[in-house]
């Protein structure tokens, strides 16, 4: 079942209404130190850990790892449930293409 466009993109109209310059703020970050400082102030430690976990799981799924292998690798991390892996897999395959775009971009840099 494909993710409907409204579910894919609908959040952005709300975000832009609530914080019109947020995306421009992200794009204006000049280096890793600025990004780390801003993200640390913006997000909780749990948010940052969850972002990192989602990114790593998306890369694992893209490389062909099974759900079982991923769960074993993340054993003991309460944020990594079968439901979480399923959700990340769905967005990887049927989402906006953001995961795949960045995975491919970084594959090119490491090859």
Find out whether 23 and 16 touch, Cβ atoms under 8 Å: yes
Q: Is a pLDDT exceeding 70 seen at residue 84?
A: yes
70's CB contacts (< 8 A; 6+ apart) are 57, 60, 61, 80, 85
> Residue 26 corresponds to which tokens in the numbers above?
């992200």
Predicted pLDDT at 1: 65
Measured CA to CA in angstroms, residue 27 lies from 22, 24, 53, 57, 64 at distances of 9, 5, 23, 25, 31
At residue 18, the pLDDT reads 95
* 47: pLDDT strictly greater than 80: yes
pLDDT digits (tens, 9 = 90+) for 9-30: 788 889 999 999 999 999 999 9
> Rounded to a whole number, what is the largest CA-CA distance in the chain?
41
């Amino acid at each position: 079942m494909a993710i409907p466009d409204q579910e894919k993109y609908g959040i952005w109209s709300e975000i832009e209404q609530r914080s019109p310059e947020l995306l421009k703020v992200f794009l204006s970050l000049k280096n890793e130190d600025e990004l780390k400082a801003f993200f640390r102030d913006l997000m909780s430690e749990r948010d940052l850990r969850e972002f990192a976990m989602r990114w790593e799981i998306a890369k694992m799924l893209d490389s062909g790892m099974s759900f079982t292998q991923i769960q074993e690798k993340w054993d003991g991390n309460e944020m990594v449930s079968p439901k979480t892996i399923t959700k990340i897999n769905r967005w990887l395959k049927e989402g906006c293409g953001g995961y795949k775009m960045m995975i491919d971009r970084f594959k090119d840099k490491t090859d």
